Amino acid sequence: MAATKKLFLAFVLLTVSTLSWANCTFNTSQYLFQLQEPSSINEIHVEVPKSASFVKNFLRILTSGTRNIPPTLKKDFEARIIVDYEFGRCIFSASVRQTGDWKDHISLVEGNPLRSLNVKLREGNIMNAIRFKLLIPATRNDLNEVLGSLVARELGFIAPETFQVRVDVNGSKSVMLFQEDAQKELLERNLRREGPIFEADESLIWTDERQTVYRDDVTLARLINKKWFLAGQSSQYITLSAFPKLQNAYLAYTNYKNKALMLFPDNSAFEDFHFLMLAMKGWHALRPHNRRFYYNSFKDSFEPIYYDGMLTLTIPIDLSMKANRLTIEELSFAFKSDYVFPFTSILGTPEFKSKLLPKFQNRVIRFNSVKQNFFEESLSQVHANVVSLQTKISELEVPIPPHPGNLSEHELYNSRVLKRNLDQKHVSSIKVNNQNFLLTYQDKTTAIVSPEALASILSKNVLDGMRHVLLPENSMQLDFQEERANLKEIKLLEGNILSSLSTSVIIKEKERVIVITQSNPKDWVLFRDADISEWNITFQGLPVNKEDPSLQRFNIHGMTGCLNFYNSKFNHTSLHITGGQCEDSLNIVNSWGNISLLEVKDAYADAIDLDFSQLTLVDIEVQTAGNDCLDVSSGIYKINYASLVNCQDKALSVGEKSQFEVNDISIHSAFIGMSVKDFSSLVVTNAKVRNVTICVEAVQKKQEFGGGVANLKHIECAGQYAEDKNSSLFRSKN
């Protein structure tokens, strides 16, 4: 009976999964790589059925008499998005609305309306993006934004996919910039795991519709992705532990203790980002009210997200001109005199240009000699600006910090709130109260609110029509605070080993052996920025306790695994894991190299989970997993041999734009032998699959992707083969 139910569920999923791309005239799996190339898009059509209302909205904005676009006029309209590719067409339902702060985002060109639009697809995706903007190119300095975003992403910073594209909005044709929003898909594209995304709260800047009122001195932050916060207890804990750090960083800025606009001055990622923005003349991206942030739970720190720099890449930087909004004083507060930009040598190399040029060509329309010259001049000038800035920084004197005065950070902020006549309540602490939260306000009053109500405060700074601001006086008083603080850390292997307090970590350096033992089934350990070459690591887990179905698949530290590796190097490494009550027995993220032997026994859920990595594995042995035996995503994986036995769901799951090759694989006892999905490819040289319901499936599961491709050169399996209309499954005759 259980097998029958699973088979029925698989049929339902196969049917539903095709809906996201049901209106495409082609099989998406046959164009895996082309669908990742902006140049494959001939044109994007935006059709708004209620055209009269849409035009009326356009005219009201155009004639509003304000410098900025009134937020009340940014209304949603039902729309149909048609994407014409070189190889076919897709039609998606969507909603669109006016985007942009200033009136440069709307104009009449030869009598035709031209406006920047925010687009939300209800089905399908464009370049893996579900939410994106179609921008008037001049609002982002056109080619500067395209190339600048590429440079930032190539150097490891989080930056949005940005490219030129032909657009037709209800018959008005133009070239626009496509730029994805700060959502989960942006993080995935930049090889980050989903987590909280924040930005400055601009609601106070645009409240006066007759004039622009800058209230930077009282502007703090807000959460962008509140759905992630509401996904479960771990998401809530991670968000609430991160948010106060960001609020305090904004407080330091608003109190004018930081004259360089440097948020998180002790975070090297922000130093490097600040330097790059100055070198690309992207001062606009450094304005606190334009900033966006990602909290990386693996690093327990924030990362900057590039957006809207108004870059001018071909212009030399002039440190003597205040018009550039850059002074020696500001530099001295932003950087220490011994600061060294880590990418100077990379930017000036022919290899960097050669790597970047085809990506730039792919993101502009009609690449020609003019755009070639722009590319060459831009990179040369940015490198020259880097050298000039570096020289100037080395000559800086240590500045005298501004006197903080007699008032505290919060007292200074409160005085400005009163001066601005703002009516807002300040939340000073939050405690978990059963399934709700107990808020304590600055005036010592309290309130119990639901997670949804707290999400409203975090994302909109509003609750029941009243402005609320999270303003912790000290650290947040959260039930998990002690658990988060009580971690062990060992400096080793050129990196760090972090673990829960009760985890035993024994290191035998001469033998290059590490033995990790749980005292609690949920104990965990993280190897971060480590070189694991030629080490033998054993993780001895405990049997599973009673499970809690309400828990998320990751803990309050963002770890899914009992044994975790992040940004680490493997070379002739051996890993042995037994037991433990984690979502993954082993989780490897953003890592690379080769692993000689990987053994997992008695996994609570997934035995092995590999994300955002490039790995070669010689021998994989999995014996018993409560869910999948081997689950990989967003990477390149090559396996010589794998034995996957007694897997409750899938023996092998390949997803989210992965390229997976296996020479020899043996599978025994699973519901699904091998599953490939979501723009992934699976190549199998030889497979022996026994005791499964479905031998191989190729499907699309997530909206932001398309189908999967399975190429089976030789397989022995007596079960079924399944593929949806967007996927492809090829079997050689045995």
pLDDT of residue 434: 86
What DSSP string describes 218-265?
G--EEES-HHHHTT-HHHHHHHHHHHHHHHHHHHHHHTTS-TT--SST
634 DSSP assignment: S
**pTM score:** 0.92
For residues 302 and 214, membership in a common domain is answered with yes
**In terms of Cα–Cα distance, which of 654, 658, 707, 711 is closest to 684?**
711
Domain of residue 267 covers 193-410
For residues 416 and 396, membership in a common domain is answered with no
pLDDT of residue 405: 62
Q: Is residue 97 in a domain?
A: no
Can you list the positions of beta strands (E) in 377-452? 424-433, 436-441, 446-449
pLDDT of residue 251: 85
Mean pLDDT of the residues in the chain: 89
CB count, 10 Å around CB of 320? 9
Q: Are 701 and 3 in contact (CB under 8 A)?
A: no
Q: Is residue 622 in a domain?
A: no
Q: Which of 455, 470, 485 lies at the terminal end of a domain, its last residue?
A: 470
What's the token pair of residue 197? 């995304």
Q: Is residue 135 in a domain?
A: no
Q: Which of 202-216, 230-244, 333-347, 462-476 has the lowest mean pLDDT?
A: 202-216
For residues 449 and 434, membership in a common domain is answered with yes
Q: Is residue 440 in a domain?
A: yes
Q: Which helix (H) or strand (E) holds 353?
A: helix 350-361
For residues 296 and 396, membership in a common domain is answered with yes
pLDDT of residue 191: 96
Place of tokens 């932050």: 221
**CA 133, 135, 138 angle in degrees (round to 5)?**
155
Q: Which of 89-103, 533-547, 577-591, 631-645 has the lowest mean pLDDT?
A: 533-547
72 DSSP assignment: G
Q: Which of 11-20, 239-248, 560-569 has the lowest mean pLDDT?
A: 11-20
For residues 444 and 334, membership in a common domain is answered with no
pLDDT per residue over 257-294, tens digit each? 555 556 776 778 999 999 999 999 998 998 888 899 99
Q: Which of 394, 410, 426 lies at the terminal end of a domain, its last residue?
A: 410
**CA 130, 136, 141 angle in degrees (round to 5)?**
105
pLDDT per residue over 353-406, tens digit each? 999 999 999 999 999 999 999 999 999 999 999 999 998 888 877 665 565 566
Does 12 have pLDDT greater than 90?
no
pLDDT per residue over 55-72, tens digit each? 999 999 999 888 889 888
pLDDT of residue 422: 84
Q: Are 73 and 100 in contact (CB under 8 A)?
A: no
Q: Is residue 501 in a domain?
A: no
Confidence of residue 597 (pLDDT cuts 50, 70, 90): very high
For residues 322 and 264, membership in a common domain is answered with yes
Calpha distance 112→117 (Å, rounded): 15
- 494-522: average pLDDT: 94
Higher pLDDT, 726 or 13: 726
Percent of the chain clearing pLDDT 90 (strictly above)? 70
Higher pLDDT, 294 or 17: 294
pLDDT of residue 416: 84
For residues 207 and 241, membership in a common domain is answered with yes
For residues 320 and 466, membership in a common domain is answered with no
Confidence of residue 19 (pLDDT cuts 50, 70, 90): very low
pLDDT per residue over 213-243, tens digit each? 557 778 889 999 999 999 988 899 999 999 9
Q: Is residue 204 in a domain?
A: yes
For residues 274 and 295, membership in a common domain is answered with yes
Overall number of domains in the chain = 2
Place of tokens 């055209």: 51
Q: Which of 200-204, 559-563, 656-660, 689-693 has the lowest mean pLDDT?
A: 200-204
Confidence of residue 485 (pLDDT cuts 50, 70, 90): low
CA–centroid distance for 388 within its chain: 32
For residues 205 and 349, membership in a common domain is answered with yes
pLDDT per residue over 603-657, tens digit each? 999 999 999 999 999 999 999 999 999 999 999 999 999 999 999 999 999 999 9
Q: Is residue 125 in a domain?
A: no
Q: Which of 448, 470, 492 lies at the terminal end of a domain, its last residue?
A: 470
Q: Is residue 113 in a domain?
A: no
Does 254 have pLDDT greater than 90?
no
Q: Please name the residues in contact with 326: beta carbons below 8 A apart, sequence gap of 6 or more.
A: 278, 283, 317, 319
pLDDT of residue 71: 87
Calpha distance 622→631 (Å, rounded): 12
For residues 384 and 462, membership in a common domain is answered with no
Calpha distance 100→15 (Å, rounded): 39
Does 484 have pLDDT greater than 60?
no
For residues 406 and 455, membership in a common domain is answered with no
- 71-89: average pLDDT: 95
